[in-house]
Structure 1
């Protein structure tokens, strides 16, 4: 249910707002990010599932590889409008046309700094060049958006003139761009309101001041009906405004729906994997901690009423609620986690287990599910008979194809298997899956590595979270060898997940 903090919302619930995703263009400009054509296709499909209205697939002027990637996206025949970014050159429009895009974003300077010092022209000549470019693109049946680069530092009267010139030449809309994340919501509102009086207006905001969402909402309240975003807030410097944050803010606070919210988390994961940019744990909407509770007070309250300490249900954005273990975990959290793992304990035993978990947390340790289960087994005098155990591991990464072999004990029987992969860890995991066959149908939800000590002989901690059916388990292992730590953690996680199965494990080739 949306929030209503005042009797007069600045964004009416009947507003029509669409999102333009520029992850494949502006997001890819983040340092170290480079997407292959196949990765762009995967992300574009995920954006389509989420119902994003416009997908900026790249900059056709970048090169042949980029044009191939854009063409792969346009070949998908998506419901979303697929566009290309263009500089103020007719040749850029021609290259975009070669990719069969639906539209173009023509970036033109709007601040004197960009008009005079970057482009080396005058205000008057800039207006004429813009009009000519728009007319050229419209003559080729393209949807056209003109982006006034550095609009937040432009003279507002000239910005209005630039927008008016663009729209009179046939542009479908004009975009207010806070290119360097320079401004605040008051100026954004004033600028966009003046532009909205001229015609359809979009907003392109960056997060250099941490005001990306605030400025986007200010723009919408002033009349913008299209917001440029990137998944996970990727982009140059501090990044663009995050698509998932704009979408949930408009939905939860103003009851304005822009896309399929339940697709957001999967979309975030796809982009994170493709770009290699990990999601910060405290990131709004899609961070690991967004719906994770450790505090005893919060856990107890959440178990009594799932709305107690959450603004909206995690399922809204494709997430699940999780209880974390640590120094702040209370009895309620321990009891709930034990129940999730099918472990029975008396009230006195739960109290003792909670005390020991707190002691582990007090030592600065991240307490995993495996730690809790080990403590519970000790307190309750329960025996844990291992289903899967790693007996031996050999990994070779010096050759052209990394290979690994493992020897496992599975229900008391030895199994030996080998595998190859993109690296020694990947090869070793492949070998484990080969040895277990269909029993290894668990999904690796997260994999995290931390160096515990410095130097070339550093000890690393590998923490994995694995899911099988509706159960998850987290395990951490410390080793000098990252491959050994990774495989031990994954095998231990699989062992915990398989321990509750009543059926014997099938042979590896089943």
Structure 2
């Protein structure tokens, strides 16, 4: 596809992160100053060299947030997005940024229809603004908005004008995710003859990474990205995907890859945008194996069904159980929980696991251990058991109280929260003390029957250190189902850790 312009491993390519600006423009995302600062710190720790902190022209609140990022004294260059207006440059300077991304219209649709100007006037305005920003001591990148739909002769003239006026670099922008790799390669090839060029791609056609790589092959040495690909419409090209593609396929290192998963989790948590399970690099299923053939192969050779080790991007491999799990997968899961079973018992457990999967159920750790106990005749003593639960939500503050049996000792505790489930969970944690500090990694609720007496299934995954346990419970009462599932998960964690919870300090 890239012809003679292959991406050589001696190329220097950098990533620019615009999660805090373009990513935040996605519907429903609004980051607080503290959240932007936290993300910026993690980007800096990962070695991202340029961080676009926002658009200073948005308003006073956004300017305070950008200033918060610039005050962090990061190693990364901190920048602001600016329209083709002098006042935008002034506002960016007031925020203390190191540089700006000056966006100017490139396609006739934007030149004439959006700003009501002419090609000649846009070139003149661009030269004036670049000179003005450089006089303020700013690093300047000029972005030709909607460049993928621009007349390439004019785009080349516009970007040449920007560089002649003193811009540090120019950017080819596929603003609406319109184009493909051939057009991207052609445009960037022409711009790279003028000076340093960047690429800004979107994923509306699912070609974000492909177009970014095409731009790099054509001479671009900086790619605009967002963590997890958050952004307007279908999102921007994902930073983690570009980073791993460049490293794994082309031997080009851009950031500290082992920080990618923690960074993805942080952005998912702060933006409220969950990671799709099948998301490349950082999705839950990226290093999870259920198929018996795949599990068996992975146990024999970790590279059998993975392109690179999960540790490369800060992940861990996971063997999941379901109807496709074979004996090797069941044996590995039992070993993980220190459950002894003969070959015949493993076969029977595997058959029972398959039966559960055939009924459309996800087979949790608790399911596996319950089946194993039944097949092997094991009798497990519980460490934590729920004896009683009461919860109220009619007043201004939802409250709950629990009575637990903890290693033969009865404990009673109460808690408050944003709802009855939250209050009950707080009560359980209070009763268990430090042993209740396991992280609630996931919480899912599904109605399994209809009507006013609907039964719900609550599935929780709780983890501590490098261990996690999933438990599903079905009840007519969602609060009770949630608490029982959580207590059972904590009990399983404590069992594997061989720990008896100490009495909580008053």
TM-score, normalised to structure 2, is 0.96
Question: Any gaps of 5 or more consecutive residues in structure 2?
Answer: none
Residue in structure 2 matched with residue 189 of structure 1 by the alignment? 185
Asked whether 1:232 is paired with 2:228, we answer: yes
User: How far, CA to CA, are the matches of 1:263 and 1:137 in structure 2?
Assistant: 34
Task: Decide which of 55, 64, 67 is 2:63's aligned counterpart.
Answer: 67
Give the root-mean-square deviation of aligned CA atoms: 1.9
User: How far, CA to CA, are the matches of 2:352 and 2:291 in structure 1?
Assistant: 16
Asked whether 1:472 is paired with 2:468, we answer: yes
Displacement of 1:103: 0.9
2:2–2:214 CA contact under 8 A, matched in 1: no
Question: Any gaps of 5 or more consecutive residues in structure 1?
Answer: none
Displacement of 1:302: 0.1
Are the structure 2 counterparts of residues 402 and 39 from structure 1 closer, same or farther at C-alpha, using a change threshold of 3 Å? farther
Asked whether 1:18 is paired with 2:22, we answer: no
Task: Decide which of 487, 496, 500 is 1:491's aligned counterpart.
Answer: 487
Task: Decide which of 340, 344, 350 is 1:348's aligned counterpart.
Answer: 344
1:340–1:471 CA contact under 8 A, matched in 2: no
Asked whether 1:460 is paired with 2:432, we answer: no
Displacement of 1:504: 3.2
TM-score, normalised to structure 1, is 0.96
Residue in structure 1 matched with residue 118 of structure 2 by the alignment? 122
Displacement of 1:77: 0.7
Find the residue that maps to 1:500 and give its secondary structure. helix
Residue in structure 2 matched with residue 366 of structure 1 by the alignment? 362
Are the structure 2 counterparts of residues 205 and 434 from structure 1 closer, same or farther at C-alpha, using a change threshold of 3 Å? same
User: How far, CA to CA, are the matches of 1:479 and 1:286 in structure 2?
Assistant: 33
Residue in structure 1 matched with residue 239 of structure 2 by the alignment? 243
Are the structure 2 counterparts of residues 256 and 379 from structure 1 closer, same or farther at C-alpha, using a change threshold of 3 Å? same
User: How far, CA to CA, are the matches of 2:271 and 2:474 in structure 1?
Assistant: 27
2:414–2:424 CA contact under 8 A, matched in 1: yes
Task: Decide which of 428, 433, 436 is 1:432's aligned counterpart.
Answer: 428
Asked whether 1:421 is paired with 2:434, we answer: no
Task: Decide which of 136, 139, 146 is 2:142's aligned counterpart.
Answer: 146
1:108–1:149 CA contact under 8 A, matched in 2: yes
Find the residue that maps to 1:249 and give its secondary structure. helix
2:5–2:218 CA contact under 8 A, matched in 1: no
Displacement of 1:442: 2.0
Residue in structure 2 matched with residue 53 of structure 1 by the alignment? 49
User: How far, CA to CA, are the matches of 2:446 and 2:11 in structure 1?
Assistant: 46
Q: Aligned runs of 1:60-459 on 2, under 5 Å?
A: 60-453=56-449, 458-459=454-455
Displacement of 1:231: 0.6
Displacement of 1:395: 3.1
Asked whether 1:31 is paired with 2:27, we answer: yes
Are the structure 2 counterparts of residues 9 and 156 from structure 1 closer, same or farther at C-alpha, using a change threshold of 3 Å? closer
User: How far, CA to CA, are the matches of 1:151 and 1:134 in structure 2?
Assistant: 18
Q: Deviation per CA, 1:82-109, whole angstroms, max 9, x where unpaired?
A: 1111111111111111211111111110
User: How far, CA to CA, are the matches of 2:7 and 2:270 in structure 1?
Assistant: 35
2:287–2:306 CA contact under 8 A, matched in 1: yes
User: How far, CA to CA, are the matches of 2:40 and 2:283 in structure 1?
Assistant: 22
1:265–1:286 CA contact under 8 A, matched in 2: yes
Displacement of 1:456: 6.8
Displacement of 1:459: 3.9
1:9–1:254 CA contact under 8 A, matched in 2: no
Displacement of 1:416: 1.3
Are the structure 2 counterparts of residues 458 and 262 from structure 1 closer, same or farther at C-alpha, using a change threshold of 3 Å? farther
After alignment, is 65-74 or 289-298 more displaced? 65-74
Runs of 4+ in 1 over 6 A off after TM superposition: 5-9
2:100–2:139 CA contact under 8 A, matched in 1: yes
Find the residue that maps to 2:286 and give its secondary structure. helix
Find the residue that maps to 2:204 and give its secondary structure. coil
User: How far, CA to CA, are the matches of 1:397 and 1:20 in structure 2?
Assistant: 47
Find the residue that maps to 1:147 and give its secondary structure. strand
Displacement of 1:334: 0.2
Q: Deviation per CA, 1:14-62, whole angstroms, max 9, x where unpaired?
A: 1111111111111111111111111111111111111111111111111
